[in-house]
Amino acid sequence: MRTLTFFGVSLLALAGAGFVAQQSATQAQQPMPRPAADPEVVAKGAALAAIGNCNTCHTAEGGKTLAGGRPLATPFGTVYSTNLTPDPDTGIGRWSLSEFRRAMHEGVGRDGRELYPAFPYDHYTHVTNEDLGAIFVYLTSREAMRTEIPDNRMFVPRPFVAVWKALYFKAGTLAADPAHDTQWNRGRYLAEGLAHCGACHTPHNALGAEEPERALDGGRIEGWSAPALNAQSPAPHPWTVDDLTTYLRTGFDPQHGVAAGSMAAVTQNLATAPEADVRAIAVYVASQMPASRAADSRGASGTSQPAAPVAEDAVPDSLAAAATSVDGAAIYKSACAGCHERAFRGIPLARSTALTDTTSANLVRITFDGVAPREGSPGGIMPGFAGALTDRQMAALAGYLRSEVGRAPPWSDVEREIAKAREEAKAKKAS
Amino acid sequence: MITLQVNGQAHAVDADPATPLLYVLRDHLQLNGAKYGCGLGQCGACTVLVDGEPVFSCITPILVVQERAIRTLEGLGTAERPGPVQQAFIDEQAAQCGYCIPGMIVRAQALLEKNPAPTDDEIRAALNGNLCRCGTHMRILRAVRRAAQGFKASSGKS
């Protein structure tokens, strides 16, 4: 009797559980019903998403904006970005706001799985619920696109992320710093949160976590160097708030040159963000690098002086007939000076961080690949010299520029960076 | 004197080492296939091959290409015996004014030598640095596709 009752109750419970499971499965199949999006909230969300640089990682090359599928190479394998459009099957069409919030704040997917920290939730955790709500409304009001996203090729299993989080991840918002004004605090909120500057500009430890005690000391991203944004900044000219605002909003500042590599996409996004927000980021970042080290060693005044005018038609001197093909100075004079020593064309290289940075990575990549604006966008241009220069010529040119123009001790990584850049170019062509 | 290896022939050239390769090809060697377009490495009309890689000869000083294998449009065939890429451009009548075409052919040659069966996306990516103001892009694309067939055929024969 007892057994029977127990059995009966169990059956009932099982049936009930089955019903619940079936109901939630049905729910999971349905796209989340959304109220009509308020255009003001959409616009706010779009501006915040631009500051968050979401579209850079979540858009595949040649793919639809935010529809995901871009491979992101990490030291732990390749992770493919997800589809942020509201497609119910392959995107976030079935996500609730609270699930989105959990992903952004805690790095947990809709299915409860740990998310790889290539998705910078260690920064997004600082974003307020209100801002996340606006971003969510913006994303879910986009056109739904279906994307078949390849499986990640990570050799670190997901459960390990929980260990990583226990070691390095601190959830929670940033308390305002009363020692600073509202603008600085706004800048810090954006730079440390959505804009996730540190994801590239802070060195990462062996397990891929940012090293908090070396915040903004400079890091590497996709082969490029993300220079230090603190007292270690290698910028020959100290960055002012105005310089930074111009650079971040246009991708170019006459005192510092053009945003290249991964930074180009950041500035293209910030061009669409509210100027006040970009200026706030500039205020915060500039405060991290009061009178940079490189500028100090040059005895710079610390203020932004316009560069001495260069004669429009300054033609480089003709070369000594004895110049060899691996003479860095001769290569510079014959291949580079024609543009870089004319005002309003190439920037004088003495202003370029690529020459004073701790690594030759950016100089090598810019020389090989040039600078190109995104298809259809305005921006600085420079033709690449990958085919014109041999490895030995590139090394000679880098050596000359580093010592004579950058006025810094020789790099030890030039050959390595040249080889890496050649490999990357080959891999890009093959893909 | 600087020695240049152009289309398999050595030429001793009396020119400043800073002189752009394009000027030497046209003015000293009378190889007028490569064209002067923008002079800034932005249009591709001056494209030639150096060690098999396409370069903008208008911004490449002869200093850096001494003793390296330079190939120009003239090295790909003659009017009587055009090379497969040249023939494909003729067959597709890809030229309108024709100014950009030498650069297009040379860059297509570089592509096909590495990748004899490119996809349309690969062709577009490879020719991205070359501009055509007449707008014959669709014919140029057809010509490169046709040239790829020719490449396949000729590699099949050998």
User: Is B60 within 8 Å of A319 when comparing Cβ atoms?
Assistant: no
Locate B106 and state its tokens.
């040379």
Chain-chain contact of A318 with B18 (C-beta, under 8 angstroms): yes
Q: Do B66 and A325 touch (CB under 8 A)?
A: yes
Radius of gyration of chain B from its Cα atoms, rounded to whole angstroms: 15
B92 and B151 inside one domain: yes
Contacts of B68 in chain A (CB under 8 A): 390
Task: Quote the CA–CA distance of A414 and A410 in Å, as a whole number.
Answer: 9
Q: Are residues B90 and B139 in the same domain?
A: yes
Residue A342 lies in a domain: yes
Same domain, B65 and B7: yes
Where residue B114 sits, what CATH number does that domain have? Answer: 1.10.150.120
Name the packing angle between helices A275-288 and A182-192 (round to 10°): 90
Q: A290-349: per-residue pLDDT in tens?
A: 765 444 444 343 333 444 444 444 445 566 656 788 899 999 999 999 888 865 466 789
Radius of gyration of chain A from its Cα atoms, rounded to whole angstroms: 25
B95 shares a domain with B61: no
Residue A60 lies in a domain: yes
8 Å CB contact of A386 and B53:
yes
Which residue segment(s) compose the domain that B144 sits in?
Answer: 84-157
Contact B121 A62 (CB under 8 A): yes
Sign of CA dihedral A124, A164, A162, A119: positive
Note whether A316 contacts B18, CB cutoff 8 Å.
yes
Contacts of B53 in chain A (CB under 8 A): 386-387
- Examine residue A367 and state whether it is found in any structural domain, yes or no: yes
Number of residues assigned to chain A: 431
Token output for A328: 């860095």
| Residue in chain A lying closest to B42 (CA) | A383
Q: Which residues of B touch A388 (CB under 8 A)?
A: 50, 55-56, 59-60, 64-65
Task: Please check whether residue A417 lies inside any domain of the structure.
Answer: yes
* End-of-domain residue from the set B75, B106, B126: B75
Cα atoms in the Cβ-side hemisphere of radius 13 Å centred on A127: 31
Kind of pairing between the strands at B9-13 and B47-50: unpaired
∠ CA B23-B28-B33, rounded to 5°: 60
Closest CA in chain B for residue A426: B114
Contacts of A323 in chain B (CB under 8 A): 17, 63
The residue from A173, A194, A217 where one domain ends is: A173
Kind of pairing, strands B2-6 and A257-258? unpaired
CA distance A246 to chain B (A): 26
Record: contact A334-B63, CB cut-off 8 A: yes
Q: What's the one-letter identity of residue A70?
A: R
Together in a domain, B62 and B101: no
Kindly state whether residue A129 falls inside one of the protein's structural domains.
yes
Final residue of a domain: which of B55, B75, B95?
B75
- Per the CB < 8 A criterion, the answer to whether A222 and A261 are in contact is yes
C-alpha B152/C-alpha B130 separation (Å) is: 24
Q: Which residues in chain A touch residue B17, judged by CB atoms under 8 angstroms apart?
A: 319, 321, 323, 330, 334
- Report the distance separating Cα A427 and Cα A314, nearest Å: 39
State the average pLDDT over residues A27-56: 89
CB A270 within 8 A of CB A278: yes
**Residues forming beta bridges with residue A73, ordered by sequence position:** A78
List the alpha helices (DSSP H) in A169-297: 182-192, 198-201, 241-250, 262-270, 275-288, 293-297
What CATH number corresponds to the domain at position A352? 1.10.760
Of A23-32, A137-146, A219-228, minimum mean pLDDT range: A23-32
Tell me the chain A residues in contact with residue B63 when contact means C-beta distances shorter than 8 Å. Answer: 319, 323, 325, 330-331, 334-335
Domain identity same for B71 and B93: no
Distance CA A220, CA A225 (A): 5
Residues B88 and B46 in one domain: no
Q: CB distance A383–B16 less than 8 Å?
A: no
Residues A71-83, buried b or exposed e (16+ Cβ, 10 A)?
A: eeeeebeebbbbb
* CATH assignment of the domain containing B14: 3.10.20.30
The answer to whether the CB of B17 falls within 8 A of the CB of B7 is no
In a shared domain, residues B65 and B91: no
User: Which regions in chain B score pLDDT beneath 50?
Assistant: 157-158
The separation between CA A172 and the C-alpha centre of its own chain, rounded to angstroms, equals: 22
A360-411 pLDDT tens trace: 999 999 999 999 877 777 777 899 999 999 999 999 999 999 999 999 999 9
In the listed set A143, A173, A203, which residue is the last one of a domain according to the structure? A173
A211 domain residue, yes or no: no
Do A429 and B114 lie within an 8 Å CB cutoff?
yes
A380 DSSP 8-state letter: -
Whether residue A393 lies inside any domain: the answer is: yes
Give the model confidence (pLDDT) of A56-87 as tens digits.
999 998 899 999 999 999 999 999 999 999 99
Choose, out of B46, B47, B53, B64, the residue to mutate when testing the contact with A (most A CBs < 10 Å). Answer: B64
Distances (CA, A) of A131 to A49, A275, A333: 10, 17, 51
Residues B70 and B92 in one domain: no
A319: containing domain: 307-430
Structurally, how many domains does chain B consist of? 2
Asked if A335 lies within 8 A of B59 by C-beta distance, the reply is yes
- Phi and psi for B47 in degrees, rounded to 5? -60, 130
Mutate to test the interface with A, among B3, B63, B71 (most CBs of A within 10 A): B63
Nearest CA-CA partner of B133 in B63, B56, B43: B43
Task: Beginning with the edge strand found earlier in the chain, give each strand of the sheet holding B69-71 in spatial order.
Answer: B9-13, B2-6, B69-71, B47-50, B53-56
Evaluate whether residue A111 is within a structural domain: yes
* Cα distances (angstroms) measured from residue B148 to each of A117, B44, B88, B109: 44, 21, 9, 9
Query: Which residue, of B58, B75, B92, is where some domain finishes?
Result: B75
Contact A325 B64 (CB under 8 A): yes
The CB density around residue A104, as the number of other CB atoms within 10 Å, is 26
Give how many domains chain A has, as a whole number: 2
* One domain, residues B32 and B13: yes
Contacts of A333 in chain B (CB under 8 A): 18
The ipTM of this complex is: 0.94
Residue of B nearest to A388 (CA): B55
**Same domain, yes or no: B103 and B136:** yes
Model confidence pLDDT, tens digit, residues A263-299:
999 999 999 999 999 999 999 999 999 765 444 444 3
Domain boundary (A115, A147, A173) is at A173
| Mean confidence (pLDDT) of chain A | 87
pLDDT value, residue A7: 41
Window A:379-398, CB contacts with B under 8 Å = 381, 383, 385-390, 393
